[in-house]
Structure 1
Amino acid sequence: MNEYQRRVLEGRKEFLKLAQKQEKELLKIYEEAGRQVSYKLSKAKPGGITARYLSELDRSIDRYILELKANLSKSIKNGIEASSQIGSAVQLSYLDSIVPTQDIKTTFNKMFTQLPNNITKQLISGNYYSDGKTLDKRLWDITRKNARDIDTLIKVNVASGVNAKELARELEAYINPLNRIAPKTLEAGMSSKISYQSQRLARTSLTHANIETYIQGAKMNPFSKGLKWNLSPSHSERMQGKKDICDEYASQNSYELGIGVYPTNQYPLAHCNCLCYPTQENVDINKAEEELIAWVNGEDNPKLDKWLKDYGENYGIKKNKWKSFNGLVVSNQDNSGIIKEKELNELKDYKEPLARRHNLNFISKKSVAKDKNTIIMPSVDVHKDIEDIRKGLFKKIDDNFEVNGRVYGKHDGRFYPISGEHFITLNRNEYKLLIKLKTEFNNPRVMEFLKNMGSDEETISKLVDILKKGGIE
């Protein structure tokens, strides 16, 4: 198994973990949004239900719907981007393994780094689906349906003469998706599980984001032969031995590209709740590397010429700026990345950035704040960055090293992060506040402590967002 094949398997595991994480997150959103309604219900007095009580309950439900829609929108949008990032990183790992120079590597990185943002915009804007609905419009439809179902439950119970406490128990059973007690009142047309449609939308959005990333990524990869439809490992069990359209997709060879393989622009759109997934069918890594080197050194290649016209020049690659140097392909430009053997040998002795100071997961009370502090988010593969620097796959910027969209410096025998993707720079006070917030996140008085340390709401919100994006909640 080569590095790309290993990365494909890892990417699939990451996607499934993301789907599980979002499922739990959406249930929590419903639970937390329902607390205000539950609180209103808990204040109900024994006896009959008054008009005033119902009016106040309606206002609580209106606030519940607004909070629900806002939090669902944020969660699903973040999930879409994370799903696309997984697909983008997997495809980039193939290209990383064949590029001969840092300049070309940087170009591919730029192309695939921008991909998740573009895919997210496409899926939430309404341009992806034939009905033209935006993500927010779909969520509005779902949450209004939630409101109508809750209203139906209330009216049916009121009509049957239940008292306030009995209505409270019924509503609590319905609006809290973590409650294992099913409501007794489920009328025709009501969703039996209040969060089901949101979960369905979220799962489908994750899948479509992943698939569209593969489609667009395959178009940008000149060595892609097509996309293969892979049945999920649980497909047969979920179908209970029956077959559906997914089996047809996975077994066709209409395009004579191989079993289940489609031209990039013919890959089917997955149905709702589908867990099947695409993988790129690519030219063998060694052959692709040889072809790329030969082309950059002047050999005719119409396929790569077309790729250059369609994509390369938009990201700064121009074929006539390359030449052969001692059997390697290098740039004619200044600061081309030709690294002397002595410098590479020296770089091998430098250690990775100090985790307890820079890595978000390892920051603790022992971490030392300085005037400028760069945090490395957990999504960064620091080991790979440093290995690429040691291999000479970097662009030199003064005495610093640009690699994979990030810049590192070095001092005292160790690399350290400076700037770039998924690096966050904090001043001395912000870093101290982050340490306090991270190490006492579950302390109910932590916000009080932060304000006593001179923090304001904007800074606290910024730091909370950093921890959440790093998976620390």
Structure 2
Amino acid sequence: MSKEIDELKSIAGDYKTWALQARKKFIDLRLRQDLQIRELYIKLTKNISKELKKGGLSPIDKKRLQQIYGALKETEDALNGQLTINFEKYTKENVAAAVGYSKAITIDIVEKAEISKIVTSDVKNIYFRMNEKAVEAIWSRTQDGLYLSDRIWSKSRKYRQNMTDIIRAAVAEGQDCTKTAKALEQYVLKKKKTLAAEYPNMMARMGNRVPSDVSYEALRLARTEMTSAFGEATLSAAKISPSCRGVKYILSASHPKPDICDDITGTDKHGLGIGVYPIDEAPLYPFHCNCLCITTTVNEKSEDFVQRLKRWDSDPTSEPGIEDWYQNTYKKMNNIQK
């Protein structure tokens, strides 16, 4: 971990405090979301278990089975709704964490330059509007023809199918309602290996139909999409940042074995430095599911950019790059006509 953080601090330079804050926020959000998704699955499974326990030590008859199937359908709908709320919340927070780094840099530079044509409130407005667009982009894009909302729904359906498979196997085994309820609880709390040890015949009937961890697919989707949200926001913020010179990718210290991450983060393909890419040629991030590589921006040194801003203020033609940003980003996104 220290190696990747040292590299992040080196790249961030004067802005290392904000870079570290953004990375910490990303990790904290990931851990918190993981916990909340697991708790959601446990809570909903306990509701199904509670319904089953009403049958006591009697076998699961046809009437009881139909009641459980109805409860599972309601649980599927509840899971989809609550996962959607969860993803909406964490998408916004990951975007805000990524954008916050770029925004802090731009505001710092503008305040140091003390130029009347550029004001802090307008800079904040630029990033606020970009925030909204980045969040919209996450929810409006498709993968294999499916929107994020569709992929969330598929995880809810998968959960219902997993629970149904366990219950059907329990019925075939002639288990009573209480024992089946206990099996569901053990599965969601201690994963598939517990079922294999305590209910070997039932597991033999199901084979590989039931995943090792009932919440894994939702967790995997969340990790990928939230990393993507952070990356999308980093790239979008880079495009509207006047001091940004490229996008940098740093290999995660927890990386298990060489793959595409090593190639992307370990080569200098554009003469900008190891793992650095022009903003318009940055590779799609994350590079794979559960990717923990770091994405950040490469920015001009604060004192150098402040001086260039002051030159531009005196003569806009002396700094065409800043003039282009002022006309096509600052003024347009703030609806400034003159």
Task: Please give the secondary structure, in 1, of the residue aligned with 2:270.
Answer: coil
Task: Please give the secondary structure, in 1, of the residue aligned with 2:194.
Answer: coil
- 1:161 and 1:180 mapped to 2: Cα distance? 20
Deviates more, 1:104-113 or 1:286-295: 104-113
Q: How is 1:125-274 mapped onto 2 (pairs within 5 angstroms)?
A: 125=140, 127=141, 129-174=142-187, 176-177=188-189, 182-183=194-195, 184=199, 185=203, 186-235=206-255, 239=256, 242-269=257-284, 270=286, 271-274=288-291
Scaled by the length of structure 1, the TM-score of the pair is 0.62
How far apart are residue 208 of structure 1 and its match?
0.5
Task: Please give the secondary structure, in 1, of the residue aligned with 2:296.
Answer: strand
Task: Please give the secondary structure, in 2, of the residue aligned with 1:292.
Answer: helix
Structure number with greater Rg is 1
Mapped pair 1:312 → 2:325: no
Aligned to 1:62: 73
How far apart are residue 233 of structure 1 and its match?
2.9
Of the three residues 279, 290, 304, the one matched with 2:307 is 290
Cα gap change, 1:70/1:278 in structure 2, threshold over 3 Å: closer, same or farther? same
* Structure with larger RCO (C-alpha < 8 A, sep 6+): 2
Task: Please give the secondary structure, in 2, of the residue aligned with 1:182.
Answer: helix
CA contact (8 A) 1:107 1:317 kept: no
How far apart are residue 316 of structure 1 and its match?
3.8
Mapped pair 1:14 → 2:35: no
CA contact (8 A) 2:248 2:295 kept: yes
Aligned to 2:54: 43
Deviations 1:27-51 (A, max 9, x none): 1111222232121122123232211
How far apart are residue 190 of structure 1 and its match?
2.0
Aligned to 2:106: 95
CA contact (8 A) 2:192 2:213 kept: no
How far apart are residue 262 of structure 1 and its match?
0.7
Cα gap change, 1:256/1:319 in structure 2, threshold over 3 Å: closer, same or farther? farther
Mapped pair 1:110 → 2:125: yes
CA contact (8 A) 1:153 1:187 kept: no
Of the three residues 87, 105, 114, the one matched with 1:76 is 87
Deviations 1:278-333 (A, max 9, x none): 1111111111111112112224122122222321221348697xxxxxxxxxxxxx
Cα gap change, 1:232/1:314 in structure 2, threshold over 3 Å: closer, same or farther? same
Aligned to 1:459: none
How far apart are residue 199 of structure 1 and its match?
0.5
CA RMSD of superposed structures (Å): 2.1
CA contact (8 A) 1:173 1:181 kept: no
Task: Please give the secondary structure, in 1, of the residue aligned with 2:109.
Answer: coil
CA contact (8 A) 1:80 1:209 kept: yes
Aligned to 2:6: none
- 1:121 and 1:299 mapped to 2: Cα distance? 34
Tell me, which stretches of 5 or more residues in structure 2 are unaligned?
Answer: 1-8
Deviations 1:398-445 (A, max 9, x none): xxxxxxxxxxxxxxxxxxxxxxxxxxxxxxxxxxxxxxxxxxxxxxxx
How far apart are residue 196 of structure 1 and its match?
0.3
Q: How is 1:449-464 mapped onto 2 (pairs within 5 angstroms)?
A: none
Please tell me the residue identity of whatever aligns with 1:307: W
Task: Please give the secondary structure, in 1, of the residue aligned with 2:272.
Answer: coil
Cα gap change, 1:132/1:106 in structure 2, threshold over 3 Å: closer, same or farther? farther
| Percent of matched pairs sharing the same residue | 25
- 1:211 and 1:3 mapped to 2: Cα distance? 22
CA contact (8 A) 2:49 2:182 kept: no
Greater fraction of residues in strand? 1
How far apart are residue 144 of structure 1 and its match?
0.7
Please tell me the residue identity of whatever aligns with 1:30: Y
- 1:50 and 1:63 mapped to 2: Cα distance? 20
Scaled by the length of structure 2, the TM-score of the pair is 0.86
CA contact (8 A) 2:247 2:295 kept: yes
- 2:133 and 2:146 mapped to 1: Cα distance? 17
Task: Please give the secondary structure, in 2, of the residue aligned with 1:229.
Answer: strand
CA contact (8 A) 1:31 1:178 kept: no
How far apart are residue 244 of structure 1 and its match?
1.1
CA contact (8 A) 2:191 2:214 kept: no
Cα gap change, 1:3/1:284 in structure 2, threshold over 3 Å: closer, same or farther? closer
